[in-house]
Structure 1
């Protein structure tokens, strides 16, 4: 008999999941398509934006971005593919040009 209500930890609930979600944006990288959920994009935009302000440290921005991405429930096998796509959404203003 399959358990329909498996025990989940608080960490399980804090990670967005792409499984079965239809609100995705598909970006082409070479011959591959990378699906990105719109709420994942908003999370990156709101969680670690970089504007190229004098007070901002680009190395700290990269560390913050990687820490945020590590918290996402991305497919292990294809984990690296969406990083360039997601990173562009963390750039604002002159940084995005």
Structure 2
């Protein structure tokens, strides 16, 4: 029966540390070089520049800001008024749910913003600044994550929006629905015709 005293020592004694390092350095020469440099106080090892580290840790506006680039506007002191924002929010909100129609949202948004006018500000610029207010929840997050200063026109916004919420796969699905459309036995010709037109409108 073995006892604790007779068991082999799993951790060799480190009484002679230098000798242990030299033995191990036969298989890994880097250990010896590092220990010698440490013993000699070699200052060749790179020391992090604390000044640069401090600068890197300082808050910065680099990379911040929304996806809408700065647009030249003739009007002085232009800002979106609360009633403009509320008009958009009350009339057309896109939630990004499976049943939401991205094309219909754009049509409604364009209709609502037709009546909003500001001297010295183009319709395109107004729509560009108002569009984010028509989005809710994770749709706003999607918009905010677009590359900084990547949008210059409302048309670009509309294309990105449709690319996200009306992808080619959805177009193919709707085309298949239209191609394979059949009147159900329990619906009238008028009802079937209205549903057919609705499918075409969604495409």
Query: Given the two structures, how large is their TM-score scaled by the length of structure 1?
Result: 0.62
Cross-structure match for 1:30: 70
Query: Is 1:41 aligned with 2:81?
Result: no
Query: Which residue of the other structure, out of 110, 115, 125, is the alignment partner of 1:66?
Result: 110
Number of aligned residue pairs: 70
Q: Show structure 2 runs of 5+ residues with no match.
A: 1-67, 142-203
Cross-structure match for 1:85: 129
| Separation of aligned partners in 2, 1:90 and 1:64 | 10
Q: Show structure 1 runs of 5+ residues with no match.
A: 1-27
User: Which one has more relative contact order, counting CA pairs under 8 Å at least 6 apart?
Assistant: 1
| Separation of aligned partners in 2, 1:78 and 1:60 | 23
Superposition deviation, residue 38 in structure 1: 0.6
Question: Is the helix fraction higher in 1 or 2?
Answer: 2
Superposition deviation, residue 41 in structure 1: 0.2
Larger Rg: 1 or 2? 2
Query: Given the two structures, how large is their TM-score scaled by the length of structure 2?
Result: 0.31
Question: Is the strand fraction higher in 1 or 2?
Answer: 1
| Separation of aligned partners in 1, 2:71 and 2:106 | 27
